[in-house]
């Protein structure tokens, strides 16, 4: 129901009584005050057109009522079946980011390509990064069930092809196919929550899916090592087939199509140009040295392609209605700093995951399963420090120290890893890895929090996704860059110290046939080639350490989840506690409290007005200070039987008078009192703006005026008196 306001009415989505029930809490100034963060969070949910893309009018905001959101009536059994299937495909897709790490030595021994083995990881990460923005919009346009089914099919086809690959180029190409499907699984599975779960329960399921991601990070290297140690490496990919088919069947049977009308436009040119830019960067970073000596023209061509694609992407993003990555984000220091640090974190994480298993298996002689076990502590370090830092932040409300400490620990860990030798024990190396994991965990999620707490609400979703995107890009580039540095360094070491080992670069199986003396030499050269990798990583981590001091710590605010209408990068997120919060504060904001508000206002302004007289004055002031008698009675409703009597008391107080033509109006004295009332209410609201820069958020100040006006004219009820039915 719309709420009457002025000479017109609020849009029907403006549930003003509920808005105040969400926002207001008691204080001792005028009896009430506003919980601004919760209020702004509520208003930010599902806003449609607030300032548009570049500006606009705050009055076009729409406030959603979560109790009016609807989802299909999905039974408990069907929901369990759907989410079991979704958790399974999500686990498979996320596992494939790390499961191959402990299998890399075995793979290259069988099909060759040691110098380019990082592409086995890079190809999947790159493909996933590129398609994530597209899948989000495709699901909105065509429905998530069909998009999810297509993503599963692509993922399964890619997995099957990876399982039968005969050489490294084939495996890399098929990993790209697999990543094109895997990216869709990750995004769409999270989006399905909004289709089959009521808003109140979504946080629980999203937390469960977050646990699936964490579990896959920890289990990936371990499962990969176990499979390779007990079967062929091909089963790392082929094992996806039966589970994927099962998930596909369950989703097809239980997930009811649910498509909401959407006017979202997909930025296809931006997506294509972003793909070309990232691909060019990865190719130049991973193959630059080889291309420079063997095909310099190709190196120049890929470099030019990257530059032209990037320039074109920037141009397109300033022209399209729904940009893939709004360039206005780069005017926000918090986003720029977080994106840069996130890029470095992705660089260090996936670069380390790619090369550490090689060290453990080739140099330390561990089997794949044992290598996975030694790598697991690093992932557990990420998991534990991420959870612990989040809990501490929730208690103390401060977060800047964690990126500083995390990047510092990362730098120390990478320096220690750059000092490993052939004689360094596997346990000692694992301790260094744990330190690296602890540092990574203190940074990754905190960056997202810092961005969310520093950007304007209308940019919160896309800023969050943009930060994650840069971390993914860092992972893609890191795996390729560190792999290239390692391959170049190993070639150089072998050429300088043991030319007779040159065959091991093209045929890794030759490593197993080396004599004890040559194997010892090879191990020394292998470790020497790792040193520049970790030194480079340590240098970049130190840059992140310095950048982390630039993070501006904004006091944490109680935001509710924002879900922009036209955000191509945004992962679904929901405010599950909204209704519970509304119920709690509704007890505080009963009409009896408004009665006390007007009583205290009369005392503060030293006027002899009763609360109902004060309210009628505010109502007249709200609609311009002048109204037709009949129209005023209609606006106030037939239940306001005491209106004439109250008006006459206002007349006696010199606050209002009758005007010719059947009108009533406020006197100059009444208008002055209304202005004082409105100013007092706005002052109280602005006390809540201590952590908000009103110059940067004019929509907040405009909103405060709207709320002060509406609240001042809210009808009161005397305590102990039942409102008229």
Give the SS3 label for residue 214: helix
Check residue 631 and give its pLDDT. Answer: 65
Contact 592, 717 (CB under 8 A): yes
| pLDDT attached to residue 153 | 93
**Cα 588 to Cα 20: distance, rounded to the nearest angstrom:** 10
For the residues of 335-399, what is the DSSP string, one character each?
Answer: HHHHHHHHHHHHHHHHHHHHHHHHIIIIIS---HHHHHHHHHHHHHHHHHHHHHHHHHHHHH---
| pLDDT tens-digit series, residues 216-246 | 766 777 788 888 888 888 998 998 898 888 8
- From CA 458, how far away is CA 159, in angstroms rounded? 39
Contact 611, 595 (CB under 8 A): yes
The total of other beta-carbon atoms located within 10 Å of residue 234's CB is 18
pLDDT tens digits, 139-189? 767 777 888 889 999 999 999 999 999 888 899 899 999 989 888 887 777
Cβ(274)–Cβ(282) below 8 Å: no
CATH number of 4-45+575-712: 1.10.10
CATH 1.10.3720.10 given to domain 333-554: no
Q: Which residues contact 697 (CB under 8 A, 6 or more apart)?
A: 456
DSSP 8-state secondary structure symbol assigned to residue 13: T
User: What confidence tens digit (pLDDT) does each residue in 370-428 have?
Assistant: 877 777 777 778 778 877 887 787 777 788 889 999 999 999 999 999 999 888 887 88
**Whole-number Å distance between alpha carbons of 183 and 11:** 39
pLDDT of residue 612: 75
Give pLDDT, residue 542.
94
CB contact set of 501 (below 8 Å; sequence gap of 6+)? 494, 514, 518, 521, 522, 525
Rounded to whole angstroms, the Cα distance separating 626 from 450 reads 48
Do domains 81-266 and 333-554 share one topology? The answer is yes
State the 10-residue block means of pLDDT for the chain, 725 residues long. 35 37 37 36 36 36 37 60 78 78 79 72 80 73 82 92 90 91 78 60 57 67 82 89 86 67 68 83 72 76 90 88 78 86 82 76 81 76 79 79 92 92 86 87 78 65 70 79 84 86 71 82 90 90 92 62 39 37 42 65 80 78 74 56 69 84 83 81 60 50 54 47 37
Q: Which fold has domain 81-266?
A: Growth Hormone; Chain: A; (1.20.1250)
DSSP state of 67: G
* Domain boundaries of the chain, sorted by first residue: 4-45+575-712, 81-266, 333-554
- Specify the pTM: 0.58
Instruction: Please check whether residue 674 is in contact with residue 617, taking contact to mean a CB–CB distance below 8 angstroms.
Output: yes
Neighbours of 555 (CB within 10 A): 11
């Amino acid at each position: 129901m719309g709420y009457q306001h002025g000479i017109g009415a609020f849009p029907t989505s403006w549930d003003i009584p509920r808005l105040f029930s969400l926002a207001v809490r008691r204080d001792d100034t005028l009896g009430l005050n506003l919980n601004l963060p919760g209020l702004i969070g509520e208003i930010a949910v599902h806003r449609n057109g607030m300032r548009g893309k570049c500006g606009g009018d705050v009055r076009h905001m729409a406030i959603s009522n979560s109790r009016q959101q609807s989802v299909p009536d999905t039974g408990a059994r069907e929901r369990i079946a759907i989410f079991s299937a979704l958790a399974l495909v999500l686990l498979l897709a996320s596992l494939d980011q790390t499961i191959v790490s402990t299998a890399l030595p075995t793979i290259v021994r069988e099909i060759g390509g040691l110098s380019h083995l990082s592409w086995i990881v890079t190809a999947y990460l790159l493909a996933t990064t590129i398609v994530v923005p597209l899948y989000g919009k495709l699901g909105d346009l065509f429905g998530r069930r069909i998009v999810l089914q297509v993503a599963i099919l692509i993922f399964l086809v890619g997995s099957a092809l990876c399982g039968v690959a005969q050489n490294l180029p084939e495996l890399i190409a098929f990993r790209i196919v697999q990543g094109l499907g895997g990216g869709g699984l990750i995004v769409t599975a999270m989006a399905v929550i909004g289709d089959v779960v009521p808003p109140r329960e979504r946080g629980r399921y999203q937390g469960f899916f977050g646990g699936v991601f964490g579990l896959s990070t920890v289990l990936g290297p371990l499962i990969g090592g176990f499979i390779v140690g007990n079967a062929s490496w091909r089963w790392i990919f082929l094992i996806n087939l039966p589970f994927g088919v099962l998930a596909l069947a369950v989703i097809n049977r239980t997930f009811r199509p649910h498509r909401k009308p959407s006017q979202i436009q997909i930025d296809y040119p931006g997506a294509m140009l972003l793909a070309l830019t990232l691909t060019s960067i990865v190719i130049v970073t991973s193959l630059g040295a080889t291309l420079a000596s063997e095909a310099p023209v190709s190196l120049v061509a890929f470099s030019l392609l990257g530059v032209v694609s990037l320039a074109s992407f920037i141009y397109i993003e300033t022209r399209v209605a729904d940009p893939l990555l709004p360039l206005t984000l780069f005017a926000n220091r918090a986003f720029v700093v977080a994106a840069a640090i996130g890029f470095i974190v992705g660089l260090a994480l996936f670069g380390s995951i790619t090369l550490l298993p090689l060290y453990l298996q080739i140099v330390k002689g561990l089997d794949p399963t044992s290598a996975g076990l030694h790598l697991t502590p690093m992932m557990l370090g990420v998991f534990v420090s991420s959870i612990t830092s989040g809990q501490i932040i929730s208690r103390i409300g401060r977060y800047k120290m964690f990126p500083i400490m995390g990047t510092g620990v990362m730098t120390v860990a990478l320096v220690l890893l750059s000092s490993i030798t052939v004689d360094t024990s596997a346990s000692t190396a694992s301790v260094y890895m744990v330190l690296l994991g602890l540092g990574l965990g203190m940074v990754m999620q905190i960056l997202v929090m810092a961005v969310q707490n520093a950007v304007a609400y209308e940019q919160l979703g896309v800023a969050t996704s943009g930060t994650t995107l840069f971390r993914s890009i860092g992972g893609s580039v890191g795996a390729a860059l560190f792999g290239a540095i390692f391959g170049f360094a190993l070639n150089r070491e072998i050429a300088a110290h043991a030319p007779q080992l040159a065959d091991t670069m093209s045929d890794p199986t030759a490593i197993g046939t080396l004599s004890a003396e040559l194997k010892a030499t090879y191990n020394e050269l292998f470790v020497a080639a790792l040193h520049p990798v970790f030194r480079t990583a340590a240098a970049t981590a130190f840059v992140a350490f310095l950048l982390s001091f630039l993070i501006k710590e904004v006091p944490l605010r109680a935001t509710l989840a924002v879900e922009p209408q036209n955000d191509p990068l945004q992962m679904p997120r929901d405010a599950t506690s909204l209704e519970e919060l509304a119920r709690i504060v509704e007890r505080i904001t009963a009409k009896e409290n408004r009665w006390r508000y007007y009583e205290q206002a009369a005392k503060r302004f030293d006027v002899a007005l009763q609360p109902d007289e004060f309210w009628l004055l505010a109502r007249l002031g709200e609609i311009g200070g002048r109204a037709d008698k009949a129209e005023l009675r209609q606006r106030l409703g037939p239940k306001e039987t005491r209106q004439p009597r109250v008006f006459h008391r206002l007349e006696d107080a010199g606050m209002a008078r009758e005007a010719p033509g059947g009108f009533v109006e406020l006197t100059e004295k009444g208008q002055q009192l209304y202005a004082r009332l409105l100013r007092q209410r706005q002052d109280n609201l602005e006390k809540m703006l201590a952590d908000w820069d009103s110059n940067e958020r004019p929509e907040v100040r405009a909103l405060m005026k709207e709320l002060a006006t509406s609240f001042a004219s809210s009808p009161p009820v005397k305590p102990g008196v039942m409102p008229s039915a």
